[in-house]
Amino acid sequence: MHSTVRRAARYALLGAVVAAIAVWLPHIAAAQSTFEQIRRYDSDITIESSGALLVRETIDYEFGSTPHHGIFRDIPYRFDYSRKDSTDRVTPIDVLSVQSSDAPDQYETSDFENGSVGYLRIKIGDPDRTITGHHTYVIKYRVQGALNGFRDHDELSWNAVGGNWPVIIDDVTATVHAPSGILQILCVQGATGSSLPCTTATTNENSATFAQDRLFPFWGMTITIAIPKGAVPTPRPVLEERFSLARAFSLDGPTVGGTVALAAVLLGGYAWLFRRFGRDRRFRGFAIDQAFGSPDGEYEITPYFDHTDVPVEFVPPDHLRAGQVGTLVDFAANPLDVTATMIDLAVRKYLVIDEVSSTSSRSCARPMAISCPTSARSWTVSSRSAKRCSSPTFVTSSQPACVESRRRSWTTPCNASGSRIDRSRRGSSLCRSVSASCSPAWR
């Protein structure tokens, strides 16, 4: 009788445990589904007759209750090529489409490096919108140069799932379609360097199927298939030399040829510019024609190694003034240029210069009176000796003046009220005084 009671108690306890599990199991499953994870990851890979890969990935992503903008899909495409120094092997990737029926599917691509591996990043989602829960993304892209050629077969070794997903992947499948019969297959999964076999790996004529029940964060799955030689054109790796300063300046055929070509282009361009703009030009004809040529006359560029004497012009050019020529000669405007300008104005009858008598005992040269042709105003200029009187001085008196100071002094004409205004300025103001007072037709 006691055994019967104990048996009944056990059954009652077992029933209570089963009932508790039945009640809490849905809640546990619901709570687990709110964690961020990938529910299913399916890859469909077709080896095209050209040797390129056409990849279609379907990713069922569970964001849980935490808002996200979308996902990143990072695909390695640049690897260090161990057979040749400073060289990378690349597998160019062309993204064809990104689609999602229940989430924003706009995307953008960028490149980044992680160690010696270069990645193409596909950033999927809307930067102005966040999502939660379960969503599905379908990514299609084409890969070049992924096959490896061997003596008796060609081979595809492909990371169906890369080891850079930071979440658990519950279910993984990969299917490969080949243009001819598949010779051999292999599938490994786990952390980087792992050789653990996948859950299943089967082949059926021209296709192979691989599956893995679960991948933990940062685990991947790599598949390998061998196909007969000749099923696709002979695979050749796509290689790119890695840039470096030592490589850029090394002496080899391309760099030497490029340097010579660049030097030839630069020298040729310099010669053309010098021939076009850097040579003297002269008027065509004989010496008399060259001496009195007009600005709109025909001219020629002086030939190389031509040492013919340049004809002398005895008449100043009409389009250049004395002050301009003097400034061009020594690249500075000095009192000599101002004096030449005054003489030029007198020659062109904008000023009148008269010699006046002087009774001064000071050691000055002959004074000159400068006046405007249409006005009664006059100024007397006195030049000092070569040592002390290098700057002219203007005064309103009819007597010559020698100023001991090194500054130029002059007195402006009487203003409207008849009073005089005395000023003392440096040479640059002298020109402005003459211009303002005596040459309304200054050119």
Over 80: is that where the pLDDT of 328 sits?
A: yes
The answer to which of 160-169, 236-245, 420-429 has the lowest mean pLDDT is 420-429
Closest by CA to 164, choosing from 219, 110, 112, 212, is 219
Amino acid 437: pLDDT? 36
Same domain? 390 vs 265:
no
Please indicate, yes or no, if residue 13 is contained in any of the structural domains: no
Structural domain boundaries enclosing 261: 245-277
Same domain? 251 vs 269:
yes
Is 152 in contact with 183 (CB distance < 8 Å)? Answer: no
146 φ/ψ angles, rounded to the nearest 5 degrees: -90, -20
Percent of the chain whose pLDDT exceeds 70: 64
Please indicate, yes or no, if residue 270 is contained in any of the structural domains: yes
User: Could you tell me which residue, 29 or 408, shows the higher pLDDT?
Assistant: 29
CB count, 10 Å around CB of 440? 11
Domain limit, last residue, from 193, 220, 241? 241
Please indicate, yes or no, if residue 37 is contained in any of the structural domains: yes
Same domain? 214 vs 262:
no
User: Could you tell me which residue, 16 or 389, shows the higher pLDDT?
Assistant: 16
User: Could you tell me which residue, 349 or 409, shows the higher pLDDT?
Assistant: 349
Cα(34)–Cα(356) distance, integer angstroms: 113
- Reported as a single tens digit per residue, the pLDDT across 185-236 is 999 999 999 999 999 999 998 999 999 999 999 999 999 999 999 999 999 9
Same domain? 266 vs 181:
no
Amino acid 400: pLDDT? 37
Over 80: is that where the pLDDT of 284 sits?
A: no
Please indicate, yes or no, if residue 406 is contained in any of the structural domains: yes
Phi-psi region of 132 (alpha: psi -120 to 50; beta: other; left: phi over 0): beta
Mean per-residue pLDDT, 68-80: 96
Please indicate, yes or no, if residue 291 is contained in any of the structural domains: no
CATH number of the domain where residue 113 is located: 2.60.40
- Reported as a single tens digit per residue, the pLDDT across 383-418 is 333 333 333 434 333 333 333 333 333 333 433 333
Over 90: is that where the pLDDT of 329 sits?
A: no
- pTM, 2 dp: 0.54
For 301-314, b/e burial (b = at least 16 CB within 10 A) is eeeeeeeeeebeee
Q: What is the residue-wise DSSP string for 292-354?
A: T--TTS-EEEPPTT--PPPPPPSS--TT--HHHHHHHHHSS--HHHHHHHHHHHHHTTS-EEE
Please indicate, yes or no, if residue 25 is contained in any of the structural domains: no
Q: Are strands 378-382 and 200-204 parallel, antiparallel or unpaired?
A: unpaired
Residues 6+ apart with CB under 8 A from 57: 41, 42, 43, 44, 73, 137, 138, 139, 140
